[in-house]
Structure 1
């Protein structure tokens, strides 16, 4: 597995970018420094002009990779979900018991992020912070339906399908596996956000993890449904 991870590349829909940023040193610097700059000043204040100063390049050079900052954010969000999907697949591939597999998958999705040294140009810890705080801006737009048709959110949806299949493997008669998965994915981000910014309206803290809450939520739903049959 270590050899596979060494050669790992997260493949992003080519319609999101003009030139693959993973294909050159400049592209990787654009991604690396955009993560750091968005974390520092926020997405609203982030511009390609400011980014060009951070990487000692020109604004036009960044536009050769991304049409605008919205597509850059879609790229960053897609990369995060793709990276998470790879981790989930590797962590669950050898687990045969359906319940244990789902528990492990939920752990991967919800646990605090640690930096992955297989990707030198991306700080996954900071990227996770951006996904928590900013990723909703990638799809809460007037263009979301068209971008969805073009596959901008295919990685996120593919991850959701994987979790849905795991739930159906445990209980094929459960009526709302997709809805439950959407709550898991978005609820996880929301609980991390509340824990950081509005701790008085969440019970997720140092004593009670987001993983604990989400895992209990999922299995209590499945248990309740199974008991009602």
Structure 2
């Protein structure tokens, strides 16, 4: 069963809410397709306007610049991922099983229960892996943080950290482990595809080995009594 979900975004990320018009939704849809295909560095509003079939000025009515647009789609991804986590752990009692759900979710191995006609979550997942850190590795990160641009990312990390605390209440570093797990998952999948010498899973036909590694990383850190 698929569920309808409307994600509320930080209004400081946009000039006009793209979800409220067909053009806005087309901008989001084609932005994801283009960034995944050509990369954020080569992505421009001029190129996007051609793909959407509109003017560059029309896109600037929705977003101040391409960095705001990238931050928007990445924040959308983290918010959607948190909803997925809530859904898939809702009836799970065991903290260990919840952690396994978290890792499978970060490996994109759980079915999506929500319907979004204009957002390709598979491509957006690839963008989160390859471009996600560019939303905050900037000189204006402090101001962006004050504007709560990264709240979805921090909320997801906090929710995962809470699951870690359920598993081992005495563990001292749940938030650090949570953010490390998120970034480590991305690094391993990126290395597997692009820099195979930096991972042990270069020749693997699937991602089972990465999942096992992430489970080993987390449960070794969370070993009770540590």
TM-score, length-normalised on structure 2? 0.93
Q: Residue 15 of structure 1: SS of its match in structure 2?
A: helix
1:221 aligns with 2:221: yes
Cα displacement string for residues 96-136 of structure 1 (whole angstroms, at most 9, x for unaligned residues): 12221222122112235777771110111111111111111
Q: Is the 8 A contact 2:84 2:112 kept in 1?
A: no
User: Residue 117 and residue 181 in structure 1: after superposition, are their counterparts in 2 closer, same or farther (change >3 A)?
Assistant: closer
Which residue does the alignment assign to 1:155? 152
- How far is the alpha carbon of 1:175 from its aligned partner? 1.0
Residue 20 of structure 1: how far off its partner (Å):
1.1
Moved over 6 A (4+): 113-117
1:77-226 mapped onto 2 (5 Å cutoff) = 77-112=74-109, 118-204=115-201, 205-206=204-205, 208-223=208-223, 226=224
Q: CA deviation at 1:150?
A: 0.8
Rounded to whole Å, the distance in 1 between the matches of 2:26 and 2:189 is 28
Kept after mapping to 2: 8 A contact 1:116/1:123: no
Q: CA RMSD in A?
A: 1.7
Answer whether contact 1:114 1:125 (CA < 8 A) is retained: no
Instruction: Check whether the contact 1:115–1:125 (CA below 8 A) recurs between aligned residues.
Output: no
How far does the alpha carbon of each residue in 1:31-90 deviate from its partner, in whole angstroms, 9 at most, with x for none? 000111112221111110110011110111101110000000000101111111111100
Distance 1:63 1:82, change over 3 A: same
In structure 2, list runs of 5 or more residues that go unmatched: none
**In 2, Cα distance between the equivalents of 1:174 and 1:40?**
41
The DSSP-based 3-state class of the residue aligned with 1:209 is: helix
Report the CA distance shift for 1:10/1:209 in structure 2 as closer, same or farther (over 3 A). farther
TM-score (norm 1): 0.92
CA distance in structure 2 between the partners assigned to 1:190 and 1:113 by the alignment: 19
Instruction: In structure 1, list runs of 5 or more residues that go unmatched.
Output: none
Residues 30 and 48 of structure 2 are in contact (CA less than 8 Å); yes or no, is this contact kept in structure 1? yes
Task: Say if 1:46 and 1:132 are closer, same or farther in 2 by CA, change over 3 A.
Answer: same
- Find the aligned partners of 1:179 and 1:94 in 2 and give their Cα distance: 26
Q: Write the distance in 2 (CA, Å) between the matches of 1:16 and 1:183.
A: 26
- Whether the aligned pair in 1 keeps the contact of 2:84 and 2:113 (CA below 8 Å) is no
1:210 Cα shift? 2.2
**Which stretch of structure 1 is more off in the superposition, 100-109 or 19-28?**
100-109
